[in-house]
Structure 1
Amino acid sequence: MLSKVFKMKKYVIAIAVCLCIFSCTPKKQNIIAIDVLLIPSEEMYAQSLQLNSFINQNNPETIKLDENHVPHITLLQCFIKEEDLTSVTNALEVDNIFEGLFETIKNDSLNAESLFYYEDKEESFAMIAVEKSNFLMKLHEKIIELIQPYTVKNGSQISFIQNPDGSPISESTVTYVPEFIDKHSFGNFDPHISLGVAQTKLLDSLSENVFKPIQFKAASLSVYQLGDHGTAQKLLWKSQ
C-alpha cells in the first residue's frame, strides 16, 4: 500500500515539474513583415494593373499584380512582433493621423510622373515613379515616428506570406525589410508603384504608348503582410 502511495506521489511530482517547465518556458514570438502603404485610387490602380499585365506577358516569372498582390505606394516596411499588431494599428488611429496628414493626402492629388526603368539595360525592373511631394514626405516621416517603437530586426523567411510553389522567400527580400528605415527612408525615400521586370524594348513601348502621367488620389492607408519581392499580399488593417 505504501509502495503504491509513494509511486503515486512520484507521478504527481513528475507532472507538476513538467507543467512548471512548460509554463516557465518563454513563448516563441512570431515576427511578421509588414508594409504600411497607400492604395491608389481607381484610375491609377487600373493603369498599374494594365502595365503589369503587359510586363507579365513579356516575363511570366515576374510579379503579377492582382487582388492578392495589390498595387501600392510603400510608406514603411519593417518587422514587428505579431502580438504588437494591434498596438501598431492603434497608434495609427489614436494619433488622429486621419484627421491630419492622411486627410490632407486623401484630398490632395498625387502625381504619377513617369514609367521608370534602366534604359541602358537589356532587361530592367519597372515602376511608376510618384512625385515626392511635401505632404507625402510628411506622412512617410509620421508613419515611421509612430511605428518605429514596435520594429524589430530579427525577422526571417517565415515572417512573410509564403510562395504558393513552396520556393523560399528571396534573400534580398528578407534583408531589405529591416534596412528600410536606415537605407530607404527620409532623404532616400522613393515613392513608387512596382510593376515587375521586363525587356527594355517593351518598357520603351509602354512608356511611349501606354503609360499616362496622371494625378490621382490615395484611396486608403493600409497595413499588409508582405510576400516575396515586397508584394503586398495579406490585408491586416485598412483606414475607414
Structure 2
Amino acid sequence: MKKYLIAIGLGLMIFSCTPKEVNIIAIDVLLTPSEEMHAQAIYLNALMKQNNPETITLDENHIPHITLLQCFINEEDLPKVNNALEGLFSTIENDSLKAENLFYYKEKEESFAMISVEKSQQLLKLHEKTIELMKSFILKNGSDEAFIQNPDGSPISESTVTYVPEFVEKHSYENFDPHISLGVAQKTLLDSLASTIFKPIRFKATSISVYHLGDHGTAQKLLWKSE
C-alpha cells in the first residue's frame, strides 16, 4: 500500500511539473471607423474585387480597420489584455481622424492600395499607449497556427507570419503608418478610383477592438470591443 501511494505521489509530481501548453494567437488591436468611412472602404474594395477577384474581401468577417498594434499573445492572457485596454477608447473617441488619400505604388502596373489616415498627435499617442499597455503580453514565437486558417486550406502567407512579430520594432513609433487596407488592383483602376471615387473625409472611431487575425492582416474574429 505504501509503495502504491508513493507511486501515485511521484506520478502527481511529474504531472504537475509538466509545462502547460501555450496556445498562441495572432491579434490586432484596432480602431473601427465611422459608418461613412466604413462604407467607403467597402465600396472601394468591391470595385477592386471586380478588377482582381483574388484580392482580400472586406466584409463583416474581414472588417475595415486602422491597426494600432499587431502581435502574438497567449490566448489565456486575453482577459488580462481586455482589462488592460479598458478605458483606452475614451482618449480618442471625441477626436476627428482624417482620411487623406488613396495610397498605392504608381510606378507598378499592379499595386496594394490603402486609405492613408493622417498621423495626428492624438492617434500617435494612442498607438504608443497601446504598445505600453500590451508590452507584458507580447510573445515573439508565434507561427502560422496562431492565425485563423484560410477556408480553402491554403497556407498562411509567410509575409503575414513574419510581419506580426516585427510590428513593434519595424512598424511602430516613428514608422507607424495608420491606414485602412483595401487590397490589390491594377494601377489603371486605382488611378480612376483615386480621382473619381475616393473622398477625403474626416471621421471618428467607433471603438477600440481586439480581433483574431487571418491571412494578409485581415481582422476576422472579434475577441473584445470597448464599451
Q: Which of 89, 92, 97 is 2:88 aligned to?
A: 97
- Which residue identity lines up with residue 239 of structure 1 in the other structure? S
Over residues 13-40 of structure 1, what are the superposed CA-to-partner deviations in whole Å (9 max), with x where a residue is unaligned? 7766555443431111011111000000
1:44-98 residue CA offsets vs partner (Å, 9 max, x unmatched): 00000000001111111110001110000000001111111111111111xx424
Q: Give 1:85's aligned residue.
A: 78
For residues 144-194 of structure 1, the C-alpha deviation after alignment (integer angstroms, 9 at most, x for no partner) is 110011101000011111110111111110110010001000100000000
Q: Which has the larger radius of gyration?
A: 1
- AA aligned to 1:61 is E
SS in 1 for 2:38: helix
* More helix as a share of residues: 1
Q: Quick one: distance in 1 between partners of 2:78 and 2:11?
A: 32
Amino acid paired to 1:60: P
Tell me what 2:143 maps to: 156
Q: In structure 1, what is the Cα distance between the partners aligned to 2:94 and 2:49?
A: 33
Q: 2:116 matched to 1:129? A: yes
Secondary structure in 1 matching 2:88: coil
Aligned counterpart, 2:153: 166
Equivalent residue for 2:134, pick from 139, 147, 168: 147
Equivalences, count: 227
- Cα distance in 2 for partners of 1:98, 1:44 equals 18
Gaps of 5+ in 1: none
- 1:109 Cα shift? 1.2
2:65 is matched with which residue?
Answer: 72
5+ long unaligned stretches in structure 2: none
What is the alpha-carbon distance in structure 2 between the residues aligned to residue 97 and residue 158 of structure 1?
29
Structure-1 residue corresponding to 2:166: 179
What is the rounded CA distance, in whole Å, between the counterparts of 1:179 and 1:29 in structure 2?
A: 20
What is the alpha-carbon distance in structure 2 between the residues aligned to residue 125 and residue 224 of structure 1?
Answer: 22
CA distance in 1, matches of 2:191, 2:61: 28
2:21 corresponding residue in structure 1:
28
Question: Take 2:197 and 2:169, find their aligned partners in 1: how far apart are those partners?
Answer: 35
Following the alignment from structure 1 to structure 2, what is the Cα–Cα distance between the partners of residues 211 and 129? Answer: 11
Match of 1:196 among 156, 165, 183: 183
2:49 matched residue in structure 1: 56
Out of 193, 207, 211, which is 1:206 matched to? 193
TM-score, length-scaled by structure 1: 0.90
Counterpart in the other structure of 2:102: 115
Mapped partners of 1:213, 1:194: distance in 2? 15
Q: Distance in 2 between matches of 1:58 and 1:21?
A: 59
1: CA distance, partners of 2:99 / 2:27: 24
Partner SS for 2:149: coil
Could you tell me which of 13, 34, 38 is aligned with 2:31?
A: 38
SS at match of 2:180: strand
The 3 A distance-change label for structure 1 pair 15 and 59 is farther
Higher mean C-alpha deviation, range 79-88 or range 68-77: 79-88
Deviation at 1:195, TM superposition (A): 0.2
What SS does structure 2 have at the residue aligned with 1:125? strand
The answer to which of 27-36 and 15-24 deviates more is 15-24
Query: Alpha carbons of 1:207 and 1:98: their partners in 2 closer, same or farther (altered >3 Å)?
Result: closer
Alignment identity in percent? 73
CA distance in 2, matches of 1:22, 1:164: 37
